[in-house]
């Protein structure tokens, strides 16, 4: 487990979600979700128009 040590999000966890093969498929940090492709919170892909 990793935890932020300084700044506004001090104390927040970095959570990794892995698939059945052990590959990281999601990153959550301080309630922010990080993805390899840009997405909004409702998963609308603005580049593809929907």
Domain boundaries, the chain: 1-50
Average pLDDT over residues 7-35: 84
Please, which residues bridge with residue 1 across strands?
none
Confidence band for 21, pLDDT divided at 50, 70 and 90:
very high
**Distance between CA atoms of residues 30 and 39, nearest Å:** 17
24-50 pLDDT, tens digit each: 888 888 877 677 676 666 655 556 554
């Amino acid at each position: 487990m990793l935890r932020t040590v300084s700044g506004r999000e001090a104390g927040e966890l970095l959570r990794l979600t892995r698939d059945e093969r052990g590959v990281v498929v999601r990153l959550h940090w301080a309630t922010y979700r990080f993805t390899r492709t840009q997405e909004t919170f409702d998963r609308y892909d603005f580049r593809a128009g929907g």
